[in-house]
Structure 1
Amino acid sequence: MSVNRRNFLNKLSLIAAGTVFSFLYGGKDTKAGTRLELKYKPEPANWDNSDITLSWVGHSTVLINFMGKWILTDPVLFERVGVYLFGTSYGPSRISPPALHRNEMPRPDIILISHAHMDHMDYPTLKFFAKKYPGKIDVITSYLTGDVIEDLPWKSLNIMDWGDELNLDGINFRALEVKHFGWRFPWEKDRSRGFFKDGRSYNAYLIEYKNKKIVFGGDTAMTDKFDALKNENVDIAIMPIGAYNPWRRSHCNPEEALLMAARMNAKYFVPIHTKTFRQGSEPVDEPIEWLQKSAPKYPLELALYEIGQTFSLKGISYG
């Protein structure tokens, strides 16, 4: 077989994989032209560097000013997620725009990636930041996932396995085990299939700076793994709440997310992983409505509940 024919067939297989990805994780797409309205707009230029301030940008993307250090989680800022070929992504489209356009983002000091799924490790978004700020951004990602983005010009690319700790510019990160799966393409090995040494992994993170702590939950089903943090004095838990129907083996529902946050004794709760892509069969508004209804039953406070809202530890500000 010629090299050109083999490359062509490889590209066809990737497009087919993108179709599978869209079918499995895209859910029911909205009608043509349907778009959720963005009600809030963050203003990071006005955030106080002496405080912890964060905004839910969309899906699992959270912009955090951690007392002057800028952290961006699982950045996904383009119109679609999926297989990236010929300069575009083939997969599900957004049903809500990001609260900040990629050009409106301050330069992240650190990009924190939970795992290699295409709606969390979005190559076009990561390429955008790496090319705009070559050699200026540190990246943290999970075990055996760095190959996806190692070609990009990062300041550093740090791989963390469960239990690992890393200090970057005074900020301490601890990688936490969650209940999820790791393959980027269906034929790949991952830890949920028992390949613990040579399979892709998936993390949550405990982030600590100046005695303040944030948990970024990444993506997870209900698990008792977060119970180990009950004595950590967690200030903010950022937890996924969507795509639980029918994907209960991989994604928690809002009640379970609240329970996990309560068990780690978190003071404030920030939702992610909902209202951005059609990934589950639950109604688009159900996760947030369920969250708001159930939150008063738990010993924590709901920090925000809409894409674009901004929360600071010194006081809640919706804007």
Structure 2
Amino acid sequence: VVYDPIFSLRAGPTQYTGPERLRPPPCQVTDIPGCDAVVISHNHYDHLDLSTIEAIFKKFPKARYFVPQGNKNWVSTLGIPRDRIHELDWWEKREYSVQDFGHTTSETASEDVLLRFTSVPAQHNSGRAALDQGTTLWCGWVIEQLLVSKDEAETSKMRRNGVIYHAGDTGYRRTAKSEAVCPIFKDIGEKFGPFDLSFVPIWRGGTLGFISHLGLRLSHNDIPSALHASPVDAIDIHNDVLSKNTVAIHFGTFVGSENESLEAVMEFEE
């Protein structure tokens, strides 16, 4: 499963526009050994990248795509069959067997393996141009591995074997200094927690490259927090969703300076 993949050098409508990477991607699509599912949180350019999706589809034509409501038509324009694109509203879920992803299991196995994908709310927005702001949904994702017993005598036939939460791109507070926080994360924790592993954004953003070259900067604490979580917010989200382990994401890739991105990491570690 890959989440919001982007391997392009810029996050924008073309490879000549939009913020440029501060550092190269860790690998290319051709280096990925396998891909059964592509999970998208929203349609901003740094989360839904045309060139990357085309490359994944070319190498892994049987992969399934899970997108928030309103994004199926756009993804299908890339030639991906519509029956492999699954568009979900908040709290909607889909279940698939490993066979649905082209894998086989032993005939002697005592349990079948299912994967359940659930779209969950996030505090963000969407849009790829001036006139489509907020016209498609944004979300986080919960992916559960379920084991279903083949023994008809068992009263409880299904058990959960693992669960991952990806917050997507999200804010947590109304403002940087506000005590008012989004209650949805505790709801997610109550419905699906505890999580074995979570991926949570830690950076509200940074200075655009051309501004930082002038010696000017913006602290992530000065940027409105309604749409992006800070390192402190990420810790609160970790606690709210009852996560056992959390990986910090969404920092220091396309905007800001090296120092700005390091500040977010250091604050998260503290």
TM-score (norm 2): 0.74
Whole-angstrom CA distance in 2 between matches of 1:185 and 1:280? 26
Cross-structure match for 1:12: none
Cross-structure match for 2:5: 75
Deviation at 1:265, TM superposition (A): 1.1
Are residues 1:180 and 2:124 paired?
A: yes
Cross-structure match for 1:168: 96
Does the CA contact (< 8 Å) of 1:81 and 1:89 recur in 2?
A: no
Q: Return 5+ residue gaps in structure 2 as ranges.
A: 98-113, 147-159, 173-181, 206-219
**Partner amino acid for 1:171?**
L
**Partner amino acid for 2:238?**
A
**Partner amino acid for 1:264?**
V
144, 149, 152: which is aligned to 2:70? 144
Does the CA contact (< 8 Å) of 1:219 and 1:251 recur in 2?
A: yes
**Partner amino acid for 1:147?**
N
Whole-angstrom CA distance in 1 between matches of 2:80 and 2:34? 13
Does the CA contact (< 8 Å) of 1:243 and 1:282 recur in 2?
A: no
Whole-angstrom CA distance in 2 between matches of 1:247 and 1:95? 22
17, 20, 24: which is aligned to 1:97? 24
Does the CA contact (< 8 Å) of 1:224 and 1:260 recur in 2?
A: no
Deviation at 1:243, TM superposition (A): 2.7
Deviation at 1:173, TM superposition (A): 1.0
Tell me which structure has the larger Cα radius of gyration.
2
Whole-angstrom CA distance in 1 between matches of 2:16 and 2:54? 13
Deviation at 1:200, TM superposition (A): 0.9
Whole-angstrom CA distance in 2 between matches of 1:228 and 1:107? 33
**What is the SS of the residue equivalent to 2:261?**
coil
Deviation at 1:267, TM superposition (A): 0.2
User: C-alpha deviations, 1:263-307, integer Å up to 9, x for none?
Assistant: 1111001011012111699812111111101xxxxxxxxxxxxxx
Does the CA contact (< 8 Å) of 2:252 and 2:260 recur in 1?
A: no
**Partner amino acid for 1:83?**
P
**Partner amino acid for 1:274?**
F
Whole-angstrom CA distance in 2 between matches of 1:279 and 1:161? 33
Cross-structure match for 1:240: 201
**What is the SS of the residue equivalent to 1:141?**
strand
Whole-angstrom CA distance in 2 between matches of 1:292 and 1:95? 22
159, 162, 165: which is aligned to 2:87? 159
Which is further off, 110-119 or 89-98? 89-98
User: C-alpha deviations, 1:53-80, integer Å up to 9, x for none?
Assistant: xxxxxxxxxxxxxxxxxx0000001111
Does the CA contact (< 8 Å) of 2:125 and 2:133 recur in 1?
A: no
Whole-angstrom CA distance in 2 between matches of 1:76 and 1:168? 25
Residues matched between the structures, number:
211
Give the 3 Å change call, closer, same or farther, for CA 264–116 of structure 1 in structure 2. Answer: same
User: C-alpha deviations, 1:75-109, integer Å up to 9, x for none?
Assistant: 0011111013xxx3521111122222221112310
Whole-angstrom CA distance in 2 between matches of 1:133 and 1:238? 24
CA RMSD of the aligned region, Å? 1.8
Moved over 6 A (4+): none
Whole-angstrom CA distance in 1 between matches of 2:88 and 2:18? 28
Q: Return 5+ residue gaps in structure 1 as ranges.
A: 1-70, 191-198, 294-319
239, 247, 263: which is aligned to 1:286? 263
Whole-angstrom CA distance in 2 between matches of 1:290 and 1:145? 35
Whole-angstrom CA distance in 1 between matches of 2:88 and 2:16? 27
Give the 3 Å change call, closer, same or farther, for CA 282–224 of structure 1 in structure 2. Answer: farther
Are residues 1:218 and 2:195 paired?
A: no
